[in-house]
Structures are given as C-alpha cells and as structure tokens.
A = this chain, B = another copy of it.
Amino acid sequence: MFDKFNDECGVFGIFDHPEAANLTYLGLYALQHRGQESCGIVASDGVKLNRHRGIGLVADVFKNDSVFEKLPGRNAIGHVRYSTAGGTDIKNCQPILVDYHRGSIAVAHNGNLVNAPELRSDLEKRGSIFSTIADTEVIIHLLARAECETLPDRITEALKEVMGAYSLAFLTETRMVAVRDPNGFRPLVLGSLDGAYVVASESCALDLIEAEFVREIEPGEMIVVDKDGLKSYHPFEKRTATPCIFEHVYFARPDSTIFGRQVYQVRKEFGRQLAREHAVDADIVIPIPDSGVPSALGYAEESGIPFELGLIRNHYVGRTFIEPQQSIRHFGVKIKLNPIREVIAGKKVVVIDDSIVRGTTARKIIKMIRNAGASEVHVRISSPPTSYPCYYGIDTPTRNELIASSHTIEEINRYVTSDTLGYISREGLLKSTKCSMGETTFCDACFSGQYPVKFPRLNCKK
C-alpha cells in the first residue's frame, strides 16, 4: 500500500521588500525546471496571508497583473512542484496555507519525508484531518499540536519528529523561517537584495532578481527573519551532511552554484573524466540536448573529438501529446529530438547523456541515430548506473523498472544497441565534484544503495 510519492520542487522566499510577491514570481520563474506541474505564492502584509496558486507553469498561473494586487505585503514565499503522486489536484499545490489557533502559517517544501505515512497515521488516530496527500501537511499538523512557546521552538519540536529530506520556507504574518534538514539533501541558498533577505533552492533565482549571493543555508540550520533581522539556529543533532549528487548530475540548472560548486563546470569535468575513463576512436561527439551538452563539451575537449549538435530539440514540447491512433509508430522520442542526417551519416558517433533509467529512451535514440546513418554509436553516461530509487525528492521509478538494478553494463549495452557503453565510475564522479565542503560527502544512494537516512519500510519500492 505504501507508495513512494516524490515531489520534485523548488522553493523561494523574500522578507521585507516592497515587491515581495513580484520578486517571488521571478524567483519561481528561474526555478521552473524544478517543477512544472503547479506553483503558488503566499504573501504577507504583516496582518494577513494571501495566496494564489494553480495548475500550470509560473507564467500561466500568474499571467495577469491583477493577481499581484491580491498578494500585497513585503514578505512572500513561493513554490514550484512536479509530483509523481496520482492526479493533479489544486488542493495539493503548495505553499500550503492554514489557519490554526496561533494564527496563519504557510509552508513551501522541497524534499521527501521517509516517515510521513507513519506520522500521518498517528496524527489521524489522534483526530487530525488531512486536506492533502502531501508529506508537507504532516509538518503542519505536528506544528499545530506543538506545545513550545516560540515559533522557532515549535518548528523544531515538529521537525524533530520527521525524517528525510526537507528544504523548507515558512511564512507567518510577521516572520519568514527557512530550514534545511540535517543531511542537507536539497540545496537552499541565502541572498540579499536592497536589504531584504532572500532564500531560494538555487542561486540562479538570485541571479535573475539581481540579489547578492550570501551563502548556502547549512545542513541542519534554521534561519528566522523578522523585523529585527536574521537569526540563525542549529537546533538538530549534528550529522554528516549528504547533499544529493544527482543535483549536479542532472537536476540543478547549469548556471547555478550549489553545494559549493558551479554546476556547468562540474558537468564539463564529468565529461572530461568520462573521456579519460572511456576513450574511443570516433569522429564526432554529440549530446542528448539539453542536459548532455556540458558533459559532451568536456568529453570533446579532453578527447579532441569534434563536438557537433547532431540531434535538434523541439523547444515547444510540453506535457500533452496526442499520438496517431491507428498506427504502430511511437513518437515519444521523435517529438522531442530530430537527428541531422548530414551531420551524422557515415560517422562514428559518441553520444553523451547524464543517465540511463529504464533504457527504453536510450534504445530509441540510438536507433534514430543509426537510421540517420551513423556507422558506430558509442554511448557515454556522466553518472554511474542508476540501480536504486531515490526516497529524498528526485523522481525515479521503482527499482524493478531501473534497468541497471538487474542488468550488467554489458547487458544494458546490448539492450540499448550501442556499440560500446561506458559509465563514469563512482570515484571519478565524486573526484570531479572537487567539493569544497570539508567533511561533507554526497548522497549517491541511487548509484550505491547506501541510504543515509533509513526509513521504516525499506522494501516498499523494490
């Protein structure tokens, strides 16, 4: 009965700026890649919280100026979300906003709690009624029942019950609170703009609003911002930080700096390392656009093989796509990518991608490249084999859908029909990050199966 529902998300918050809601909109715009299904903003004018949210992209949900008139105030938080959990329902859109006996509070959450089902069941037995299926609502109910006096203490009391990944932004009538879980799975950065404090999932959101990057919020840190300024707390027991390596591999925007390193540069280094580990005699290096481009540039640079755009991406691909009814053609990949025969024909081609999940897409792309005339196709992947599902906020399928969980690399090579297949090694991957975070390591559970936070029912998704 237990399902792994992952919410890929981005959060943003700003405190004490005259254009709080509008800048939050811009911040969400920059974080759109972290969630395209729904979005929302809650703003506070010091007395009352107002919300606007909806199904759709940020530019669509906030397409009328008039929306911002309904979001007055100098403080705001926002959220973008993509959910794997069943149908899309407006009531599951964040930020969650509730009235409780101490006033109003809103929360935006990036990450996944591994003990949410148990906590929810306990709370319901004690009479709590849930309005959404989101993990995040568990935090709100714990907060409503917390008995400590101050808000930071109550948030701490609530969060000490939860386990898993969370980068959170809370907003009350008069305060903004941002918290990153003790493992620091998901990124969360602090910035400042015209004296106002800003929090965001990635630094690219600071860039867009021309806010200054101050520092990353630390694993286990709680930031409280109110009229008296910013206070920092470390209310949780200290743990080894384990930020998510997959943010660098795929999820974060290449122009962001997270976990102490610039993403585009890290990805190029993945490509160079791949070239060192898996050299091959070839004519051209082509990326799967757009995620494979930095690694492909790195591979080309290190190997000396020319980089070409052999696959052109259709930039208008959205979620809906209606296939012809009667034919047996499958357009899943073709609708997104089209090979240029004149570039590929007769060539030995190195194809770079960030990961292989089920193998079906890779197989189709390789077929497409061969149909365009490639004489050889060598696939190089800028991450190790993805063998284990993520429980901390990245959307991966269940274990038995992951081709690498049950197949050797050679078997995968045969399945996807490449001439050769090379994955970057786990060591090469970590070395490439050159992470400057001191004793920090990375969570690479999706490659290693070593989950840094245990969960009550391990076998659920295998």
List residues of A whose CB falls within 8 A of some B CB: 18-19, 22-23, 25-26, 29-30, 32-33, 36, 57-60, 62-63, 65, 68, 91, 98-101, 121, 124-131, 140-141, 144-145, 204, 207-208, 210, 253-255, 257, 262, 264-265, 290, 293-294, 297, 301, 306-309, 312, 314-327, 329, 331, 334-335, 338-343
**Contact indicator B124/A322 (Cβ below 8 Å):** no
Report the separation of the CA atoms of residues A329 and B253 in the bound assembly, to the nearest whole angstrom.
23
Report the separation of the CA atoms of residues A264 and B345 in the bound assembly, to the nearest whole angstrom.
14
**CB-CB < 8 A to A334: which residues of B?**
207-208, 210
**CB-CB < 8 A to A254: which residues of B?**
309, 312, 340
Task: For A29, give its contact among B207, B314, B339 (CB under 8 Å).
Answer: B314
Report the separation of the CA atoms of residues A210 and B68 in the bound assembly, to the nearest whole angstrom.
41
Known: A57-B316, A121-B101, A262-B342. A322 touches B25 (CB 8 A): yes
Copy count, this protein chain = 4
**Contact indicator A33/B129 (Cβ below 8 Å):** no
Listed residue (A62, A265, A307, A340) with the most chain B CB atoms within 10 angstroms of its CB: A340
Min CB gap A341→B, angstroms: 8
**CB-CB < 8 A to A62: which residues of B?**
322
**CB-CB < 8 A to A331: which residues of B?**
26, 208
**Contact indicator B99/A128 (Cβ below 8 Å):** no
**Contact indicator A140/B145 (Cβ below 8 Å):** no
Task: For A297, give its contact among B26, B128, B253, B309 (CB under 8 Å).
Answer: B309
Report the separation of the CA atoms of residues A426 and B186 in the bound assembly, to the nearest whole angstrom.
52
Report the separation of the CA atoms of residues A341 and B265 in the bound assembly, to the nearest whole angstrom.
11
Report the separation of the CA atoms of residues A323 and B121 in the bound assembly, to the nearest whole angstrom.
42
With CB as the reference atom, state the residue of chain B lying closest to A96: B129
**Contact indicator A22/B325 (Cβ below 8 Å):** yes
**Supplied contacts A26-B324, A255-B339, 14 more A-B pairs, CB within 8 Å:** A22-B322, A29-B335, A59-B316, A59-B318, A59-B321, A60-B320, A63-B320, A68-B322, A127-B127, A207-B338, A208-B338, A254-B309, A297-B308, A301-B306
Task: For A124, give its contact among B25, B58, B59, B100 (CB under 8 Å).
Answer: B100
Listed residue (A58, A121, A309, A331) with the most chain B CB atoms within 10 angstroms of its CB: A309
With CB as the reference atom, state the residue of chain B lying closest to A122: B101
Report the separation of the CA atoms of residues A140 and B127 in the bound assembly, to the nearest whole angstrom.
10
Known: A265-B343, A308-B297. A33 touches B316 (CB 8 A): yes
Task: For A18, give its contact among B33, B309, B326, B343 (CB under 8 Å).
Answer: B326
**Nearest 8 pairs between A and B by C-beta?**
A127-B145, A101-B124, A255-B312, A32-B316, A262-B342, A22-B324, A127-B144, A255-B338
Known: A32-B316, A265-B343. A309 touches B293 (CB 8 A): yes
Task: For A33, give its contact among B301, B307, B315, B324 (CB under 8 Å).
Answer: B315
**Contact indicator B129/A329 (Cβ below 8 Å):** no
**Contact indicator A204/B128 (Cβ below 8 Å):** no
23 contacts between A and B (CB under 8 A): A19-B327, A25-B322, A29-B335, A32-B314, A32-B316, A33-B316, A59-B316, A59-B321, A68-B322, A68-B325, A99-B124, A100-B124, A101-B121, A124-B144, A126-B145, A208-B334, A208-B335, A254-B340, A255-B312, A255-B339, A257-B342, A265-B340, A294-B309
Report the separation of the CA atoms of residues A144 and B124 in the bound assembly, to the nearest whole angstrom.
8
Min CB gap A193→B, angstroms: 10
**CB-CB < 8 A to A145: which residues of B?**
126-127
Listed residue (A25, A59, A65, A297) with the most chain B CB atoms within 10 angstroms of its CB: A59
**Contact indicator B26/A130 (Cβ below 8 Å):** no
Report the separation of the CA atoms of residues A318 and B204 in the bound assembly, to the nearest whole angstrom.
18
With CB as the reference atom, state the residue of chain B lying closest to A144: B127
With CB as the reference atom, state the residue of chain B lying closest to A322: B65
